[in-house]
A = this chain, B = another copy of it.
């Protein structure tokens, strides 16, 4: 990717990440040390909405995205379910 295009893409990606954070879709975001790779906590009404949010990232075609579904922990929602 030519340097100029790279800078523009990264700026658009950063802007979209900020938008998604403000919308509460991105809850938390960390970097894996030594990598241009993230671990993130995303939140969406459904998996399909999550898919659309992920695919709205300008750089998604360069990204390898792996989704792990997470349930509320019993210590948080107080339910008796283990």
Contacts and interface: CB of A to CB of B under 8 A. Distances in A.
Contacts of A8: none
Given A69-B67, A69-B69, A82-B36, A31 B18 contact: no
Q: What copy number does this chain have within its complex?
A: 10
- Chain A interface residue number, banded: 35 or more
Interface in A37-82: 38-39, 41, 46-48, 50-52, 54-56, 60, 63, 65-77, 79, 81-82
Given A31-B73, A33-B51, 19 more contacts: A28-B28, A30-B70, A31-B70, A31-B72, A33-B48, A33-B65, A33-B70, A34-B50, A34-B65, A34-B66, A35-B65, A36-B82, A46-B71, A47-B69, A50-B71, A51-B71, A51-B81, A55-B81, A69-B69
